[in-house]
Amino acid sequence: MVRAQPEPVVLVGHSRGGIVISQAAERVPEPIASLAYLAAFLVKPGETLLSTSARIAREPAPNVLIAREDGSTSVHPDAVGPNFYNTTDQAWVDRARSLLTPEPMAVFTTPLTLTEAAYGSVSRAYIECTQDNAVPLELQRLMQADLPCAPVFTLETDHSPFYSAPDQLAACLRRIG
């Protein structure tokens, strides 16, 4: 779909979506103007989401993910608000909870395959969220130190500014675009 666009695009990846946009840039860098990481995993080549998450010490959040027999995971409904929407109005938290679906476990354990020639040729921006309980600010900044981004925007929000601060997020995305 990226190749079909009439002009270069900005890909926005939120949370685990950072892995997706990184791999997309590796596969088709030419039509991508920029990658925008929104409180997202900015994972080094050869690393995984799990190995990247383990770089900071933090108390494990009990009962956040539920392992399913089919090899997928889902977020425990009671963990949605405190972990992902801690500054969001309750109506939006309830909406988000109603949209939960299982995700494959492989997203946590598959190493990224990225090269300087492809992925490295695409500019990167980062939107960090200071009150994020899912991808803590300390981790967001460690990832940016490894793979620098410019520009970097800081929002005083939770993990999900599309609900908690949509106007501020839109302003950042307009500047990136």
* Structural domain range at position 163: 9-57+110-176
- Look at residue 49 and tell me if it is in a domain: yes
Can you read off the two tokens belonging to residue 153? 């925007």
Say whether pTM exceeds 0.85.
Answer: yes
Tell me which H or E stretch contains 87.
Answer: none
- Look at residue 51 and tell me if it is in a domain: yes
Number of folded domains in the chain? Answer: 1
- Look at residue 155 and tell me if it is in a domain: yes
pLDDT in tens, the chain (177 residues): 788 888 999 999 999 999 999 999 999 999 999 999 999 999 999 999 999 999 998 776 667 888 888 988 889 999 999 999 999 999 999 999 999 999 888 888 999 999 999 999 999 999 999 999 999 999 999 999 999 999 999 999 999 999 999 999 999 999 999
Alpha-carbon distance of 169 to 172, in angstroms, equals: 5
Element counts in the chain: helices (H) and strands (E): 8, 7
C-alpha angle with apex 162: 160 to 168, nearest 5 degrees? 110
CATH number, residue 164: 3.40.50.1820
